[in-house]
Each structure stands twice: as structure tokens, then as C-alpha cells.
Amino acid sequence: MPADISALYQEAQRCVEKGRYKQARDIGHQLLKARFTGAYEILARSFHGEGKLPIAIQVLESGVQEAPDVWLLWVQLGNYRSEAGDLNGALQAYARAKSCTGAETEQVDLNEALLRLERGNREKGLELLSVVIQQSSDPRIRLVALKHRLGALIEEERIPEALLELGEARLHDADNAELLTTLAFKLMDKKDHTNALNLAKQALGLKRAGEAARVLRLLEGEEAETCSRYEVVLRGRIEDEKVYHFLKRSTVFAESPKEATEFALGFEPPDVRSDFQVESVEMVERDCPGPKGVDWSGELEFL
């Protein structure tokens, strides 16, 4: 791809992401004149962003006629047809995508699986997700497939099966923490509080940040007739060859600033609590329903 075309394409993508759809289309037409097939993607996304789904589909149908071997256009067409309720048309587009030269079939299978879970044969969708999990070398795709497969199993109350597959998944700690948190919330929705707590605690053991804290607050937190929501900022330091200072933010439900601070400090591992100082405590909402506790904890923000 020539450098000027690449730069235009990247600028068009930024415009779509920021909601500047008219500007994205202007660039898309420039790309179209240069016979760059990514123009169809940009034009379709811009119309889709404006809620003009039928026009977006028409653009992509023109695109695949002009460039029938570009698998990404077929996948995008399948996704939009699915959104429009055209199940058969979406499946035909996904099948066509997999026949294209250089198609990343696992990504196509993932899109088809999500369609089937939502609108079609759920068992077929679960099977496709299993194939993606077993065959994909891309950790991001595996993580998405795992989230949806295990989440669907929990929704169908096949919880032992989901937990067994979770135990067999091999993920980086941060990814595993994200997956554990997602599944903990789904288990909580199913009133399986024991497994929800277990997964949330595992997630926090891998990564002491994120929304897993909310599961613990909702299931184990002390009830209060009324409390407030606070934003607590702690300051800490790590000594290595150099001294690194950082901030750590938390959202806390408590009855007073003092209690909010105690919750935020108590949330951190015992061996590092003494290294923290309170930077600020701010009430952001009064008269919130309980229970009390840390609702969310951020990652370290190095200064």
C-alpha cells in the first residue's frame, strides 16, 4: 500500500472512531478514486455510524462485487446483514469470506459463532467457538472466544462444564483475570454466589485491579441504610534501581471519608499497605444504596 494511501486510510479510520462521519466519507471517496478497496469499509462504517444500516449494506455489496476476494469486506457485510436480521445472507457472506485467498478463517468463524449464539443455532455457535479456541494462535481472538463460549454455557446453566473448560484454559495472567471477572458477574446473575466469589477472588489474586472488587462488595459487603460513593486516590512508591512513584484510584462505597480510606487501603495486599499514603478522598455521590466496600480499583498510574 503506498504511503499516501496508507496515511489517508488511517486518518479515515480515526475519523470514524471519533464520529466524524462526513469527513471519513470525504476521505473514503478519495480512496475509492485511487481504487483502494478499504474505501468500501470506511464508507460503510461511516453510514453505519449514522444509523443508515441499509446504505452501509449496499456499499459493501458493491464492494464485494468490485473486490470479491477481499475477505474482510465479506465479514463486514456478514456482520451488517446479521444486524439487519438477515441470518441467511450473513451466513452466505461468512462462507464466501472463508473461500477468499488469505482469509483468517478463525476470525470468520468467531463472527459466525457470535451470530449463531444470538440468532441461530446456539449449539453450532458453541461448537465454532470451541474450534476457534483450540486452533487460534492469536491470544486476543482466543480470549474473546472463551468469554463468549463460557458465558453462553453459564447462561444455559451448564456451569460445571464452563468451570471445567475455564480450568483448562491457558491464558496470560491479565487476560485470565479479565475472563474470571466476566464469568464471576455471569455467575452472580445466576445466583451462584459461591462460584462467583471464588472466581472474583482468583481474578484479584492475579491482578489487584478492575471490576472484580464489585462482586466482593455486592456479595460480602456490609449493608448500610445509606452510604456515599467516594473516589479515593492513594500514592505509593516502588524501589528498584530507581524510586518510582505512582497513584492508585479506587471507587468506594462508605459512610464517611475515613471509612472510605480504610476500605481502599484494606483492599491492597497486607505487605504493601504501609507503603501507601492518602492523596485525596472525594465524595462524588451522596445517599447511595449499600452494601459498602471497594467497587472498583484502578491500575498503577506511574508519575
pLDDT-derived band at 225 (thresholds 50, 70, 90) equals confident
User: Are residues 207 and 230 located together in one domain of the fold?
Assistant: no
What's the one-letter identity of residue 138? D
On whether both 206 and 272 belong to a single domain, the answer is no
CA separation, residue 179 to residues 70, 169, 203 (Å): 32, 10, 8
Residue 199 cell numbers, joined: 472466581
- Tell me the chain's radius of gyration from C-alpha atoms: 24
Tell me the C-alpha distance between 228 and 293, whole Å.
11
* Residue after which a domain boundary falls, among 212, 234, 267: 212
- Name beta bridge partners: 40: none
Which three cell numbers, joined as nine digits, stand for 257?
471519608
Asked if 200 and 231 sit in the same domain, the reply is no
- Which band of pLDDT confidence, cut at 50, 70 and 90, is reported for residue 118? confident
CB 131 within 8 A of CB 141: no
Tell me: pLDDT of 174 over 80. Answer: no
Quick one: 81 and 145 in the same domain? yes
Contact between 97 and 78 (Cβ < 8 Å): yes
- Span 218-245, average pLDDT: 90
Are both 68 and 200 inside the same structural domain?
yes
The count of domains in the chain is: 2
| Per-residue cell: 157 | 446453566
Mean of pLDDT values over 187-215: 94
Residues 235 and 296 in one domain: yes
Q: What is the pLDDT of residue 3?
A: 60
Residues 243-292 have pLDDT tens digits of 888 999 999 999 999 999 999 999 998 888 888 899 999 999 998 888 99
Strand partners, 234: 248, 278
Tens digit of each residue's pLDDT (9 = 90 or more) over 138-156: 888 989 999 999 999 999 9
Q: Which of 68-72, 81-85, 168-172, 272-276 has the lowest mean pLDDT?
A: 168-172
| Gap between the Cα atoms of 210 and 227, Å rounded | 22
pLDDT given at position 2: 58
Q: 212, 229, 255: which is the final residue of a domain?
A: 212
Distance CA 112, CA 124 (A): 10
Q: Is 219 exposed, middle or buried (0-12, 13-18, 19+ CB in 10 A)?
A: middle
DSSP states of 52-73 as a string?
-HHHHHHHHHHHHHH-TT-HHH
Do 16 and 110 sit in the same domain of this protein? yes
C-alpha neighbours within 13 Å on the C-beta side of residue 253: 21
Q: What percent of the chain has pLDDT over 90?
A: 79
Please determine, for residue 124, whether its predicted confidence score (pLDDT) is greater than 80: yes
User: Which stretches within 104-138 are classed as H helix?
Assistant: 105-119, 122-135
From the list 169, 203, 173, 172, the residue with the least C-alpha distance to 186 is: 203
CATH number, position 55: 1.25.40.10
Based on the domain organization, do 181 and 33 belong to the same domain?
yes
Q: Contact at 8 Å (CB) between 215 and 196?
A: yes
- The answer to whether residues 87 and 17 belong to one domain is yes
C-alpha cell, 265: 487501603
User: Is residue 283 within 8 Å of residue 257, measured between CB atoms?
Assistant: yes
132 and 263 share one domain: no
Exposed (0-12), middle (13-18) or buried (19+): which is 168, by Cβ within 10 Å? exposed
**Residues sharing a CB contact under 8 Å with residue 302, sequence separation 6 or more, in sequence order:** 244, 245, 246
At residue 90, the pLDDT reads 95
Whether 17 and 44 share a structural domain: yes
Q: Which of 163, 188, 212 is the last residue of a domain?
A: 212
What domain range includes position 285? Answer: 221-302
- Convert the pLDDT of each residue in 8-43 to its tens digit: 999 999 999 999 999 999 999 999 999 999 999 999
Looking at the fold, whether 139 and 256 belong to one and the same domain comes out as: no
